[in-house]
Amino acid sequence: MSKISAADFVKAFQKAHPEAVKSIESTDPRRADLVVNNESFIDAAKSLRDNFGLLMPVSGGAIDYPDDNRIQMIYYLMHPGSRFMLTYRVDLNRDEPKLPSLTQVWDAMSFHEREAHEMFGIEFDGHPNMIPFLLPPDWKGGHPLLKDFKGEGQQ
Amino acid sequence: MNSNSLISGTLANLVQADQFSLMNIPSMVIEFLALNSKPLLQVLLLPGLGFILGFAIFAVWFERKFLARAMLRVGPYYCGGRAGVLQVFADFLKLFMKEIIIPTAIDWPFFVAMPVFLSTIPSLALLLIPFASNWVLWDVGSLSLPMFFAIMGIAPLIPIFSGWASNNKYSFIGAWRVAYMYISGEIPLVICAAGVAIMAGSMDLVKIVEAQQNMWFAVPQFIGFILFFLGIFIESERTPFDIPVAEVELVFGWRTEYSGILFGFTMMAEYVLFQAWTLMFITLYLGGFNGPVLMGMPTASHIFWLLAKFFVLVVFIILLRCVFPRLRMDQMIKLGWKYMTPLALLNLFFVIVMKILGVV
Amino acid sequence: MSWLRKMLKPLMIVAPYVLRNSQTVAYPTERLMFFERFRGRHVFHLDKCISCGICARVCPDASIEMVEIEGKDKKYPQIDYNTCCLCGYCVNQCPRQALEFTDIVEFATADRSELVYSPERLMEVPDIEDILPMMKRRTEAYLTDKEMKYRKVKDV
Amino acid sequence: MREPMIEPDVMRISWGPQHPMSGQTRVLLDVDGEKVHRIIADLGFTHRGIEKILENRSFFSGIIPVDRMAMVDTANMSIGYVTAIEKAAGLEVPERAKWIRTLVCEMSRINSHLYAFGLQAESTGYFPAVFLWTTVDREVLLDLFEELTGARWSFNHFFPGGVHHDLPDGFADKVLKAVKYLRGRFKDYWDAMVENPLFENRCDGVAILKPKDALKLGATGPVLRGSGIDIDMRREEPYDAYGDLEWEVITEDACDVMARTKVRYHEIGQALNIMEQIAQSIPDGPVKGRVNAFMRVPEGEYISRVEAGRGELGFHLFTNGTGNPYRVKINSPTLRNMYVFERLAELNEVFVADIPVIINSIDPWYLDSDR
């Protein structure tokens, strides 16, 4: 497993995919944050896995910014060689968040995408079995982790 | 009393001569009882009903107290003084009082009948075992060894029927496992028992025990001794082999759907099987009611020796429940076919060789 | 033969366990002595309390409420044990140590309303002897090299 | 039926929430005879919505629900959240508090691994002898927790900026006595269980997870280290006093159930060494800095990664300057391991009798995965 530190990962990725990167920085020697624009989301992920050695999927989740009308989907990946953690982010429009599913690159993300689908209402197309994950199957109360969630009763 | 006919007296002649009219039934029954009856004490108490129920109750209490100690806890504590003696009766009463829940989509005649058969049929086999030289309840003479295995052959069918009848996925798998286990576990036992019969020269259990007067069969047939000892665990489904009732995987194996006194019967059946096979093991290999051979002098054979050996074996077998985990089904079948059956044949070969050379 | 020795070794380990004494405490007849910092039911010292209400605000489950008691114009904490998780924040944050823990854990009641302890009720702490009339002795656990033993502290 | 369809002549068993060994989850097994074709984990039975609860609670009182995520491993859960808040608020933790935190974390890790060890014994049919031995040995640790913090299980002893209580006097040699006692007990476990030939039969070569698969499927904790990959957050990102103590990361490269059990066994040994070092040479000094129960935290994003008993537990804290966190993303270790469990049926041959053994080698805690 190649040992490449977070800082020169940032420089290498910047050089390799300049058009895909919206913003990338590494504040802490063991962290790297990469925001990708939506079109090149999947092939940037493929190159991350193949050329840069980010083999290990850690987790995935979303965060809702209602005031500037966007939901950011974050995937946490780990580099098994030098053990730094990359947060691979993509911004989605809040009204109808759609995203190609990342299970085609790391299939361990299927649980986390099912949870994001339930909690935030993000549509992942291409997901193998998009069934309810944590919430009860007959849940009609909308998406709980959105900021404007008022509870199952009022929905 | 001639010992070669199963039923004796005028009833037998009448049946053969088929002048069977309703009039003389009462007299025949009385006469039959007179000829075939054993002293009441034997039937009710020692080898009969009292011993079976008494051992079942003692074993449940002893197992819970003894294994609790191995787990650094106390076991039944409040019911009947600190020793928890009345705990077993309390459990039995509780099971007796409980409603027997019979689910709807179930083949209820089989479902209800099977536990009763399971606890009664093996106790039939117990009547064959000689407790003392003239103390055999069901004296079928030289048929006793094959009769024991015939009766014990029925025992595995019952869980299979009840597993099928209770229409539940877990009991279905439990029933399969009972079938796998008995197929792979029972054959080596029959071969070993054959070895014992050859060495003793007869299939009558009383003669087998008398043949072990000065040297128990455990010594010459050591392989058979080990295999039959394993057989006790396989047949009575004790710990290394309690695969059909593996609570951890299948909720309670083929007994999942039972409740109330039916569940009580299945629990008692476990101990009756355990009792029957342990007594058979002692009769075949540890010299039944013969005392140990001290300084070349065989001590008097008395029923006390049989019960003493029985108690020591029961304690050892119950302790093993804390010591070994459970085998997997394919490992059990592999053990049965690949190791036990060839060893049983080898043991049979040694016995025949010893018989021909007249060593024993 | 090593296979046989490996097979017998677990037996040699388990068998002596049967002779050890049990590690259980027969609860109602003997009751353990808890440690000094044990978090049981609260006790409230009215004189120390300056009714600042920090305990009510810091409580994560909002189970402390400041209520009036007659004869006093200030408000004092009333603890609702239905939701209290005995986390100890109120005791830690209280500037005057007016709230403290006792080692009473037997305060189950028939209905929920009884679990809401008013300040007066918080002040008096029932004695353990009359909570558990059948208790005969208090025991304490102490550790030896081989096993954990329980010894009698005092008779009741 | 919302789960995927069943193939012909395959029976689907529901290893339901109501089952002696399943814990609070439902696992659907497609079974043909004894062989398991497919495992479908159906989580969510204990979903309390901790991430939503944390958004409505102040930082201080947010520690209570986080404490109760994997309750058997309490300290390692709350240390993650507390470290994230300290990074956000820029708080400095006094040296002695760091050492006490490491001591409590390691005792909690032993507690969690002992529990897993006992369950592993019972899942192979040990008639809970070893499970109750572990319960008795955990009693020693629970008494130490009770003496130090006041509660036995969820003792929320940490808070941003330090530790609630200092060590009571005479605590250090009680810890040393406990370490000596536990070391003596562990020889029994090794002989009675791990070296037991029947236990080896049930565990060797079962559910093999090769290193390549372990990485691809995102395994973590003893599951990952059982496949020979030495990733341990206590060494990658040393928090509290792990930097200045001598201990090493345990890995086994047999990649099967026995390897994971052995990893947990030796990790308990390492944790005992750490406890001994701390009890002998803990520095003096204050135990908590300035305590502000209603503190405000500057805006920003902070990630903290901590090694819990079951694996790497991550907290991604988003703050907006108010008293409550804006969003807390919890990366739970059991969720990642449950995915590995689901894929194990495809990686190698699994029997019905292996399912409890495999589940307990992964040592899930469903309150942790369902959050």
Region class of B204: left (phi > 0), else alpha (psi between -120 and 50), else beta: beta
Nearest to B254 by CA among B160, B118, B114: B160
Give the start-to-end residue ranges of the domains of chain A: 6-94
Collapsing DSSP to helix, strand or coil, B148 comes out as helix
Name the class of domain A6-94: alpha beta
For residue D40 the two structure tokens come to 């479908």
Mutate to test the interface with D, among B63, B249, B333 (most CBs of D within 10 A): B249
HSE, CB side, 13 Å, CA atoms: give it for residue B61. 19
Q: Please, do chains C and A touch (3+ CB pairs < 8 Å)?
A: no
CB atoms within 10 A of CB C58: 19
Region class of D178: left (phi > 0), else alpha (psi between -120 and 50), else beta: alpha
The enclosing domain of C30 has a CATH number of 3.30.70.3270
Predicted confidence at residue B1, as pLDDT, reads 42
Say which amino acid occupies C60.
P
Instruction: Give every CB contact of residue B169 below 8 A, 6+ residues apart in sequence.
Output: D11, D13
**Which pairs count as long-range contacts for B139-148, CB under 8 Å and 24+ apart, including other chains?**
B139/B3, B140/B3, B140/B6, B141/B3, B141/B4, B141/B204, B142/B202, B142/B203, B142/B204, B142/B207, B143/B203, B144/B203, B144/B204, B144/B205, B144/B206, B145/B193, B145/B197, B145/B203, B145/B204, B145/B205, B145/B208, B146/B203, B148/B205, B148/B280
Predicted confidence at residue B4, as pLDDT, reads 45
Predicted confidence at residue B18, as pLDDT, reads 57
Predicted confidence at residue B313, as pLDDT, reads 92
CB atoms within 10 A of CB B98: 14
Shortest CA gap B281–chain D (Å): 24
Dist. CA D301–CA B354, nearest whole Å: 85
Asked whether the beta carbons of B114 and B163 are under 8 A apart, the reply is no
Shortest CA gap C70–chain D (Å): 31
SS3 content of chain C, % helix, strand, coil (to 5): 25, 25, 50
Q: How confident is the model at residue A52 (pLDDT cuts 50, 70, 90)?
A: confident
CB atoms within 10 A of CB D120: 31
Residue pairs between chains C and D whose CB atoms are closer than 8 Å: 86
CB atoms within 10 A of CB D230: 12
Residues in D touching A59 (Cβ below 8 Å): 314, 329, 331-332, 335-336
Rounded to 10 deg, the angle between the D355-362 and D95-123 helix axes is 180
Collapsing DSSP to helix, strand or coil, C68 comes out as strand
The more confidently predicted of residues C145 and C45 is: C45
The more confidently predicted of residues C156 and A133 is: A133
Subunits with 3+ C-beta pairs closer than 8 A to B: C, D
Length of chain B: 360
Predicted confidence at residue B3, as pLDDT, reads 43
Shortest CA gap D42–chain B (Å): 18
Sheet containing strand C30-32, strands side by side: C30-32, C137-143, C148-155
Phi/psi at A83 (5° precision) = 60, 25
Mutate to test the interface with B, among C11, C12, C14, C23 (most CBs of B within 10 A): C14
Whether B320 sits inside 8 A of C11 (CB atoms) is yes
Question: Quick one: average pLDDT of D186-196?
Answer: 86
Identity of the residue in D44, D236, D318 whose CB atom sits nearest the CB atom of A134 = D44
For D137-150, the pLDDT digits (tens) are: 999 999 999 999 99
Instruction: Give every CB contact of residue D89 below 8 A, 6+ residues apart in sequence.
Output: D59, D160, D161, D295, D297, D298
For A1-29, the pLDDT digits (tens) are: 567 888 888 888 888 888 888 888 888 88
Whether A30 sits inside 8 A of D331 (CB atoms) is no
Say whether residue C22 is in contact with chain B using an 8 A CB cutoff. yes
Whether C10 sits inside 8 A of D193 (CB atoms) is yes
pTM value is: 0.90
The residues in D 260-299 lying below 8 A from C, measured between CB atoms, are: 291, 293-294
On the question of pLDDT at D65 being above 50, the answer is yes
Chain centroid to Cα D353, Å, comes to 25
Q: Please, do chains C and B touch (3+ CB pairs < 8 Å)?
A: yes
Say whether residue D132 is in contact with chain B using an 8 A CB cutoff. yes
CA distances D293 to C85, C96, D202, D287, Å, are 18, 16, 51, 16
On the question of pLDDT at D24 being above 60, the answer is yes
CB atoms within 10 A of CB A137: 9
Report the number of distinct structural domains present in chain C: 1
Any idea what DSSP says for residue C141?
A: E
Asked whether the beta carbons of D108 and D345 are under 8 A apart, the reply is no
Quote the mean pLDDT of chain A.
Answer: 87
Quote the mean pLDDT of chain D.
Answer: 89
Say which residue the tokens 């006692």 belong to. D181
CB atoms within 10 A of CB B70: 23
Strand pairing category for C30-32 and A98-100: unpaired
Whether B69 sits inside 8 A of C18 (CB atoms) is yes
Predicted confidence at residue D143, as pLDDT, reads 92
State ipTM: 0.87
Residue B324: closest C-alpha in chain C: C10
The CATH number assigned to the domain with range D53-346 reads: 1.10.645.10
Asked whether the beta carbons of D29 and B173 are under 8 A apart, the reply is no
* Residue C87 resides in a domain: yes
Dist. CA B13–CA C90, nearest whole Å: 95
For residue D90 the two structure tokens come to 């820029």
Identity of the residue in B72, B243, B248 whose CB atom sits nearest the CB atom of D21 = B248
Residues in D touching C34 (Cβ below 8 Å): 146
Dist. CA B48–CA B45, nearest whole Å: 6
Say whether residue B72 is in contact with chain D using an 8 A CB cutoff. yes
Q: How confident is the model at residue D1 (pLDDT cuts 50, 70, 90)?
A: very low
Rounded to 10 deg, the angle between the D333-347 and D355-362 helix axes is 150
Instruction: Give every CB contact of residue C27 below 8 A, 6+ residues apart in sequence.
Output: none
Subunits with 3+ C-beta pairs closer than 8 A to C: B, D
Instruction: Give every CB contact of residue A79 below 8 A, 6+ residues apart in sequence.
Output: A4, A9, A52, A53, A54, A55, A56, A85, A86
Residue B63: closest C-alpha in chain C: C18
Subunits with 3+ C-beta pairs closer than 8 A to D: A, B, C
Say which amino acid occupies D132.
L
On the question of pLDDT at D103 being above 80, the answer is yes
Give the start-to-end residue ranges of the domains of chain D: 53-346
Say whether residue D130 is in contact with chain C using an 8 A CB cutoff. no
For B156-173, the pLDDT digits (tens) are: 888 888 888 888 888 888
Any idea what DSSP says for residue C110?
A: S
Nearest to A19 by CA among A46, A43, A53: A43
Dist. CA D7–CA D222, nearest whole Å: 34
Dist. CA B188–CA B347, nearest whole Å: 10
For residue D162 the two structure tokens come to 């330090």
Q: Which run of H or of E encompasses B356? A: helix B341-357
Instruction: Give every CB contact of residue C86 below 8 A, 6+ residues apart in sequence.
Output: C39, C40, C101, D151
Say whether residue B331 is in contact with chain D using an 8 A CB cutoff. yes
Predicted confidence at residue A82, as pLDDT, reads 87
Asked whether the beta carbons of B225 and B285 are under 8 A apart, the reply is yes
Whether D60 sits inside 8 A of C61 (CB atoms) is no
Shortest CA gap B69–chain C (Å): 5
Residues in D touching A149 (Cβ below 8 Å): 52
Say which residue the tokens 């529990």 belong to. D115
Query: Residue ranges of chain B with pLDDT lower than 50?
Result: 1-4
* Residue C9 resides in a domain: no
Q: Please, do chains B and D touch (3+ CB pairs < 8 Å)?
A: yes
CB atoms within 10 A of CB C113: 9
Residue B75: closest C-alpha in chain C: C22
Predicted confidence at residue B324, as pLDDT, reads 87
Q: How confident is the model at residue A109 (pLDDT cuts 50, 70, 90)?
A: very high
Residue D150 burial (10 A CB sphere; 0-12, 13-18, 19+): buried
Sheet containing strand C64-68, strands side by side: C64-68, C75-80, C116-117
Question: Quick one: average pLDDT of C134-147?
Answer: 85
Question: What HEC string does chain D produce?
Answer: CCCCCCCCCCEEEEECCCCCCCCCCEEEEEEECCEEEEEEEECCCCCCCHHHHHHCCCHHHHHHHHHCCCHHHHHHHHHHHHHHHHHHHCCCCCHHHHHHHHHHHHHHHHHHHHHHHHHHHHHCCCCCHHHHHHHHHHHHHHHHHHHHHCCCCCCCCEECCEECCCCCCCHHHHHHHHHHHHHHHHHHHHHHHHCCHHHHHHHCCCCCCCHHHHHHHCCCCHHHHCCCCCCCHHHHCCCCCCCCCCCCCCCCCCCCHHHHHHHHHHHHHHHHHHHHHHHHCCCCCCCECCCCCCCCCCCEEEEEEEEECCEEEEEEEEECCCCCEEEEEEECHHHHHHHHHHHHHHHCCEEHHHHHHHHHHHCCCHHHHHC
Shortest CA gap D295–chain A (Å): 23
Asked whether the beta carbons of D60 and D91 are under 8 A apart, the reply is no
Residues in B touching C10 (Cβ below 8 Å): 323-324
